Amino acid sequence: MDSLDLAWIDATELARLIAAGEVTATEVVQAHLDRIEAVGERTNAFVTVLGEQALAAARDPRPGPLSGVPFTIKDAFDTEGVRTTRGSALFTSYVPDRDAVAVARLRAAGGIPLGKTNLPELAVWTETDNLVTGRTLNPYDPERTPGGSSGGESAAIASGMSPLGLGSDLVVSLRGPAQNTGIAALKPTHGRVPCTGHFSEVLLRLWHVGPLARSVRDLRLALSLLEGPDGADPYAVALPAARPVARPRIGWVTDAFGPIDPEVAATVAAAATALADLGYDVEQVELPWLAEQDCTELATPLLLAETQSYVRARCRTGGGTASVDRDLPGAAGNHAGGLRRGRAGRGTAAVLVRRLARGLRRAALSRGAVPGSAARAAGAPGRRRRSPLHCRRARDRAVQPDRDARRRAALRRDHERPADRRPAGRPLVDRPGPARRGRTAGDGEPGARTASGVLTTGHATR
């Protein structure tokens, strides 16, 4: 079977092919490594590629439902012996001594880690960009974002570099990237999958661990392997089996969470009609309180207030404590006040964002996580203290890897191609023809992109 074809087969089918002896695990892993080599820099989806380790594991894969099937891991999960940056200069040297529970469970099922994927700093944003590895781009359009915080995973899966990914969701970090890149993702009920080994410990009550894939059946398979308590995460519980519902009910909204592009609203309405035609009980639901209340202005202070305490504790062991303590002392108080008022003002959220970013930046500089930066941050004795702008520019030059320049040059060449060589509605990393499946909106071409950037792809399901 052709290497490119293997890269577009879903995890369930790959497991069947390997078990039947029609392909080997080594062939499957190599096909995905070839795909990473071909298009990886064009999306910047990966932080670390585990090529040699993956090939070694593929030569003698563990038995199990995923035997020999490669998978990728968001860089917020601990991985034994593999650097885990969490998208922050504070953790560029952090190498865990054990796997996160979710990673260990996929390994135990026979899965082979292929690499770790990019995320925003500390996995706290709806785009995927950081000062360690740079920005991840949407494989369908490099001018658009793949979303966040599991944006590296969604970009890798959507461009055929991985059949299955492990991500996490606090606000929209699984579902948003899946929507932006036309794949499938599942945010399980909180506690169904343990968060042990996922950053950060203080936010376990908010994080949801879940899979990303190109088919819904892959999500079902992955969830069956991931779920169940581990004895460490206090929120992880054994949930009863779901009771079959004779006639599922589906509610959908179009008037909440801010302005909605008309094309997006029309696409959602078409999906609701299609579900109704299949026999589901579909009803448009009005949630006026969502339209009246900006939920992000409530969530942001909550998230930042809890994150800053974790960052402060981590910085005490390596420097930077003073700056974090100075810049973030009022976050918890502001959060409590916001909740008492029933909403957090836009100004409060903005101030907290700036304070957290400033604290992380100074802590990283003080620890020397950026080469030669500690002296610049503190100012050498007898010399005028350099301006924050100068320090920031110097830090940016030091942190950005050389590969960013090559990646941007490649993207620039793609942008400069004549229009007739860049077919409308197709990604920079095209899928092979036979793998394009499913019905789509618009002109029927899989991968068609709406004006708002939402992909009307049909290949997210089988």
Active-site positions read: 74, 149, 173
Please give the biggest Cα pair distance in the chain: 77
Residues 6+ apart with CB under 8 A from 122: 86, 87, 88, 199, 200, 307, 311, 360
Contact 437, 215 (CB under 8 A): no
40: closest CA among 453, 410, 400? 410
Six token digits for residue 118: 């990019």
Six token digits for residue 264: 């997006």
Angle between helices 216-226 and 101-108 (to 10 degrees): 110
Which residues on neighbouring strands pair with residue 208, listed in sequence order? Answer: 169
Pairing of strands 184-185, 208-213: antiparallel
- Write b or e for each residue in 10-33: b if 16 or more Cβ atoms lie within 10 A of its Cβ, otherwise e: bbbbbbebbeeeebebbbbbbbbb
326: closest CA among 356, 369, 367? 356
Six token digits for residue 178: 């899946």
DSSP codes, 44-107: T-EEEE-HHHHHHHHHSPPPSTTTT-EEEEETTB-BTTB---TTSGGGTT---SS--HHHHHHH
User: How is residue 431 annotated by DSSP?
Assistant: P
Q: How many residues does the chain have?
A: 462
Provide the 10 A C-beta neighbour count for residue 266.
Answer: 14
Residue carrying structure tokens 């049909």? 458
Q: Cα 245 to chain center, whole Å?
A: 32
Query: At residue 321, what are phi and psi to the nearest 5 degrees?
Result: -60, -45
Cα separation, 167 vs 175, whole angstroms: 10
Contact 72, 115 (CB under 8 A): yes
Cα separation, 314 vs 304, whole angstroms: 15
